[in-house]
Structure 1
Amino acid sequence: MADPRRFVSVNAGRANETGAEACANHRAGPDPELTRRLTGLLREIAGGDRTAFTEFYHSTHDRVFGLCLRILRRPAAAEEVTQEIYLYLWNSASQYDARLASPIGWLMMLTHRRAVDRVRVETASRTRDLAYGQRHLGRDHDIVAEAVGQRSEEQAVIDCLSTLTGTQRETVALAYYGGRTYAEVADHLGIPLNTVKTRIRDGLKRLQNCLTGSLSDA
């Protein structure tokens, strides 16, 4: 087999075709025969067997991609994290302990952890962009940007952002700093357009109230 890194990169995108089926498979209980076979493959992978890696990949990548897609909700990001998982597995198969989890259980734990880490990184990045953008964007939230510019206190922006709910922060970030229209935000989050408009309106109102010193429960 070719270099595992090249193999995973080429094949990661194919998982998109079976992501929905993988989600259903993940809910099913462990298959004893599959568990025995994957356990043996992991031992061989730990010894550098690339053929075993190929078989393990084809036997499990639909489940890995399916879980990534459920968490990240973006096929491109799910493919990237899927690739990272298998590169990690190639280098760390020797760490698997059959006494602690089945191969699928171990793999799903690694996948969930890596996907959640990706969400946290992206959320932190959006929050930083939001703090910066409050002083530079000229849309219907100009009053917020003006308040920030007058106070010139970045920490105040960060503090006020923390008054938003998690859903408000995410929606405002996608609309104003992710370059998406309200309709695109609704499609991305899988929620009604009116819900997006309400979250953004309420989020901007909270920011305005906070930055002008009159925070309410709006």
Structure 2
Amino acid sequence: MALVAIMDRLAIGEENALGDLYEHTSAKLFGVCFRILKDREEAEDVLQDVYLTVWRRADRFDAERASPITWLATIARNRSIDRLRQIGRRGGDRPMGEAEDIADEGADAFAALADSDDARRLTECLGTLDERTHKSILAAFYGGITYETLAERLSVPLGTIKSRIRRGLIKLKGCLSQ
């Protein structure tokens, strides 16, 4: 896969590789950031932070554990959620409801993962989870929905969502390691 080769080049410090990675992944990762932050400027700032993080941590990428797009989307998701929390602490000066909707025309993270050999195993393991946990994990990790938003949508306490997803991820890890 081309992204794995780019990640290998990044790991050895090849500067051109970062531009290649940006060219192949920026639209998708911006979509992840924007879906969570609902603010174009914040999403652009977070996206820049994502690529700085990738530049510094490229040597930690392990193609045996995840595909490059999954690894990158996870970093983008985590950075976006961190920024969302940071905005919330400082009171947020922009109303979230007024952000313009931008459709991400690319495949979602689950569809990108489906192109890999890991997709079959992940699908099988997700199938072993109860329906609520299965849907919660898909919404949070492949839909880019924050735990807080998911709790509101499902009308359950935030702690319940966190526990449900944590237990589900532990089961997935056990299933995938077999």
> Which TM-score band (shorter chain)?
0.5 to 0.7
Runs of 4+ in 1 over 3 A off after TM superposition: none
User: CA 1:49–1:120 in structure 2 vs 1: closer, same or farther (change >3 Å)?
Assistant: same
- Cross-structure match for 1:90: 55
Alpha-carbon distance, 1:52 to partner: 1.6
Indicate the percent of aligned positions where both proteins have the same amino acid. 33
User: CA 1:189–1:44 in structure 2 vs 1: closer, same or farther (change >3 Å)?
Assistant: closer
User: CA 1:185–1:63 in structure 2 vs 1: closer, same or farther (change >3 Å)?
Assistant: closer
CA distance in 2, matches of 1:99, 1:52: 20
CA distance in 1, matches of 2:12, 2:5: 11
CA distance in 2, matches of 1:38, 1:120: 30
Q: Would the aligned equivalents of 2:50 and 2:76 in 1 still touch at CA under 8 Å?
A: yes
Summarize deviations over 1:35-59 as a string: whole Å, max 9, x none.
x111111111111111222111100
Q: Which of 22, 28, 31 is matched with 1:63 structurally?
A: 28
Q: Would the aligned equivalents of 2:38 and 2:96 in 1 still touch at CA under 8 Å?
A: no
Alpha-carbon distance, 1:187 to partner: 2.6
Work out which structure has the larger RCO, using CA pairs closer than 8 Å and 6 or more positions apart in sequence. 2
Q: What residue identity is the alignment partner of 2:53?
A: Y
Q: What residue identity is the alignment partner of 1:73?
A: K
CA distance in 1, matches of 2:78, 2:17: 24
CA distance in 2, matches of 1:69, 1:77: 8
- Cross-structure match for 1:116: 81
Give unmatched runs, 5+ long, in structure 2.
Answer: 102-178
Q: What residue identity is the alignment partner of 1:90?
A: W
Alpha-carbon distance, 1:116 to partner: 0.3
Give unmatched runs, 5+ long, in structure 1.
Answer: 1-35, 127-173, 191-218
CA distance in 1, matches of 2:6, 2:17: 5
Summarize deviations over 1:2-36 as a string: whole Å, max 9, x none.
xxxxxxxxxxxxxxxxxxxxxxxxxxxxxxxxxx1
How many residue pairs were aligned? 101
Structure 1 vs Structure 2 CA RMSD: 2.0
Alpha-carbon distance, 1:186 to partner: 4.8
Q: Which has more radius of gyration?
A: 1
Whether 1:187 aligns to 2:98 is: yes
Q: Which of 74, 77, 92 is matched with 2:42 structurally?
A: 77
Residue correspondence of structure 1 range 1-218 to structure 2 within 5 A = 36-126=1-91, 178=93, 186-188=97-99
SS at 1:101 equivalent: coil
Q: What residue identity is the alignment partner of 2:14?
A: D
Alpha-carbon distance, 1:188 to partner: 4.1
Summarize deviations over 1:119-161 as a string: whole Å, max 9, x none.
01111221xxxxxxxxxxxxxxxxxxxxxxxxxxxxxxxxxxx
SS at 1:97 equivalent: coil
CA distance in 1, matches of 2:31, 2:85: 19
